[in-house]
Structure 1
Amino acid sequence: MKIFKFLIFLFLFIQSYGVLAAKQLVSELRIFEPYLGTWQADFAVAGGKPSMQDVSHWEIALNGTAVRTLHSINEGMYGGESLILWDQSKQKVVFFYFTTAGFYTQGTMDVLDDGSFVAYEDVAGNQDGITQVKSTSRFVDGQMEVSTQYLKYGTWTEPEKRHYTRSSKAVKFH
């Protein structure tokens, strides 16, 4: 009976250790810790156009070797999922982003000294002529600030800035 109790204790200890280990990011990804959780931003839209809201969820994935993000615009009108990870051979943070619109991006991120990061994406299969995206993200006063530009038909768009606040909303896909 003592051996049985010990085996149960050992099993529960190993399980709890695995859960604890999965809750910490590898050192190269710790820059993303303030972003973990759920966020929302309301986009500025031109007069007469419908409102746009992005809900984004960031979580630790793959035992702390990746960050997984999910996001949806207007409760599933459009959305996507990313995996962000450290690429040992490139010595860079890399990511892969897949969308509900049937295209995907892949890219790299430069982490800056002030804790912000710049993402550079190559886009494949976008029907609107977008071939590259550059976004700068920073965590400021408990908010996520994102500035994004698109290379569309060979010309960079003006930066679009969004402020994300903590949210209890859920990411939804149709």
Structure 2
Amino acid sequence: MTYFKTLFLALCLCVFTFSYADENNLTLDKQLAVFQPFLGTWQANFEVAQGEKPIQDVGKWERALNGKAIRTAHSINEGEYGGESMIFYDSKKELLVFYYFTTAGFYTKGTLKVLSPTQFVAYEDVTGSKEGITKVKSMSELKDEKFIVSTSYLKKGEWTKPEQRIYTRSTKTVKFK
């Protein structure tokens, strides 16, 4: 009987070890590998005028589709607004592309251009915005363990002043209502 207990324990330990190793050594395709440091959960507290309701964004970047894509999800104020996207390499266009779908009913299709191992820019075409936004441009940078995002919107024919948000690592979860 002791032999079977030992064998069972050894088998469980092997399964656990292989599962842990797989989850912690997962790779992204070479075209997406530059985003490896961005994987994980992030949060930012937006700057708001004094007396206004606080705004917090929680986002998660994770490996998807066996490393062929990156899935992102984020929620503002625990589900008041949120969205999900899939980033992947389009081999025909030879571009990094993504789709972003929101709880507000609009979506975007965009491209990413990697500027350096820590910087990228995103260009998006917006479909279905009730606010008159037709394009979005954002610059993202990983610097000093912070994820800094600066975003401008083409709204009713004019670009808005860039809004900057600084994200830090988080243990919070993305929530949808």
For the superposition of Structure 1 and Structure 2, which TM-score range results when normalised by the shorter chain? 0.7 to 0.9
Q: How does 1:69-148 map to 2 (within 5 A)?
A: 69-113=72-116, 115-148=118-151
RMSD between aligned residues: 2.1
Partner amino acid, structure 2, of 1:129: G
Q: How does 1:51-70 map to 2 (within 5 A)?
A: 51-70=54-73
Partner amino acid, structure 2, of 1:123: V
Runs of 4+ in 1 over 6 A off after TM superposition: none
Structure 1 segments unaligned to the other structure (5+ residues):
1-7
Percent identity over the alignment is: 57
**Residue 22 to residue 108, structure 1, CA distance change in 2 (3 Å):** farther
Partner amino acid, structure 1, of 2:98: F
Which residue of the partner structure matches residue 47 of structure 1?
50
Question: What SS class does the counterpart of residue 34 from structure 1 fall into?
Answer: helix
**Mapped contact 2:58–2:76 kept (Cα < 8 A):** yes
Report how many aligned residue pairs link the two structures.
163
TM-score by length of 2: 0.86
Partner amino acid, structure 2, of 1:57: K
**Mapped contact 2:34–2:117 kept (Cα < 8 A):** no
Partner amino acid, structure 2, of 1:43: F
Q: How does 1:152-163 map to 2 (within 5 A)?
A: 152-163=155-166
Question: What SS class does the counterpart of residue 28 from structure 1 fall into?
Answer: coil
Please give the per-residue CA displacement for 1:23-50, whole angstroms capped at 9, x wherever unaligned: 2100110111111010000001123321
